[in-house]
A and B are shown apart, each in its own frame.
Chain A
Amino acid sequence: MECLDLRSRLDDYLDGRLDERPLREHLSACADCRNLVQHAQAVQEGLRKLSPPEVHPAFVDRAILRATRQNAVGAHPRVRALVGMALAASVVLGLSLGAFFSLREATVQTVALTIEKPETVRMVFNSAKPLRAATVSLLLPENVEVVGYAGQRELTWQTDLREGQNLLQLPLIARGAVKDDLLARLSHGASTKTFRVKFDMAKANTPGM
């Protein structure tokens, strides 16, 4: 076996599909190929040892519950507000809490909305430690609805925040021109943070958005 053969058949070797005898003979005489094989094996070993963080204890129950209740019209509306829906596009808002929160000045970002076209706004809450029973409130401006909650301008629910990123998906739809901002308020104990989302209807009408 030559170096070129080995390199072209390295994947087969890693997958145990190669006759090992000629390969071993080559490796015993070629330090470059030996290093290559060791490197490849070590990368694979590293990947196999890369274990995911433990699943959040409440996640399994919560995920099953949300999936089974999605179709139950009107059931548990506050839970449904957290549920991701298969909509056309999504917008990500990063909202940091805890030690990583550094902004003091109110910063407003803009989300483009098209009238009567659902848009998922994804909010990521970064929390420096787990927070139990945090309260999330949404104050919606006139003409903006959470999909499935027609006419509700205020939605409130309690949720546990885990350490790190916590994702909230909001399927929103504009029913007409929007003048005001959406306020998302996160409370825990005596602490409150309010985040502001502005809507841009003009941008939303740009073709291709």
Chain B
Amino acid sequence: MSTVSPYRKARPAELNFDDLLRPQVEYLYRLAWRFTGSVADAEDLVQDVLLKLFPRTEEMLAIQKLRPWLARVLYHQYVDSVRQRARSPALEVVGDTEGDDDPLDTLPAAVAGPDEQAEQGAWRERLVAALGQLNPEQRAVIAMHDVEGYSLEELETMLETPLGTLKSRLHRARQRLRALLPMEPFSGGKRVNG
């Protein structure tokens, strides 16, 4: 049973929140990126989670293993946001310009690196694209189990999802990824024929 220090309870919530969450933000961002595949969406997701958590600062003070608890909050926020976005209209570019020689139009694009970097970049893009083909629950189980190393039993508790459902979700996700990512790029790049 956890206890909350009277000293911490007496401090302003902002200080306690900072103490609790600051060491966790990078972890949440990393996990959010694995969920979303986008820096902007990951930051957006983490920000939304922090906004929701601040009023729960006192509750968080009593949680001993905060990181898995935060991962669960992030997961639910992620799944909710994907569903919410799917119901919303997406509009294209809006804009006009003032001046034809706007320096903002001529800023250099990212410089292409050497061949190896380009290959790695292409492979990375393919991985991210393949993950993007998964549904949010599949993507999350891959991120939390295969990458972050939570066991399925831990996830059963964290996500309040039956073990059988998680196993099935993981199986389908891995199967889909293998189908989307053919063998060759993983083989070390050494061709033995031609």
List residues of chain A with CB under 8 Å of any chain B CB: 11, 14-15, 35, 38-40, 42-48, 50, 52-53, 55-56, 59-60, 63-64, 66-68, 70-71, 83-86, 89-101, 103-112, 124, 127-129, 162-167, 169, 188-197
Contact = CB atoms under 8 A, between A and B. Distances in A.
5 contacts: A40-B174, A43-B186, A48-B146, A101-B95, A165-B40
Contact of B183 (A35, A59, A104, A193): A35
A165 B39 contact: yes
Contacts of A104: 97, 100
B103 interface: yes
B153 to A, nearest CB: 11
A35 B7 CA distance: 59
Contacts of B131: 47
Which secondary structure dominates where chain B touches chain A? helix
B17 interface: yes
Closest 7 CB pairs of A and B: A42-B186, A106-B96, A67-B50, A52-B33, A165-B40, A128-B107, A98-B107
A46 B34 contact: no
Contact of B88 (A42, A59, A92, A100): A92
A107 B17 contact: no
Given A52-B42, A63-B25, A92-B88, A195 B123 contact: no
Interface in B98-151: 98-100, 102-110, 123-124, 127-128, 131, 142, 146-147
A167 B128 CA distance: 20
Given A53-B39, A193-B102, A63 B124 contact: no
B interface, size bucket: 35 or more
B29 interface: yes
A89 B91 CA distance: 13
Interface stretch (B51-59, B60-68, B157-165): B51-59
Interface of B: 13-14, 17-18, 21-22, 25-26, 29-30, 33-34, 38-44, 46-48, 50-55, 84-85, 87-100, 102-110, 123-124, 127-128, 131, 142, 146-147, 152, 167, 170-171, 174, 177-178, 181, 183, 185-187
B95 A193 contact: yes
Given A95-B94, A166-B40, A46 B51 contact: no
Nearest to B100: A104
Given A52-B30, A63-B47, 18 more contacts: A11-B171, A14-B174, A43-B177, A50-B127, A52-B42, A55-B25, A66-B47, A66-B51, A91-B89, A92-B91, A93-B93, A96-B93, A103-B95, A124-B40, A128-B109, A193-B98, A193-B102, A195-B96
B88 A89 contact: yes
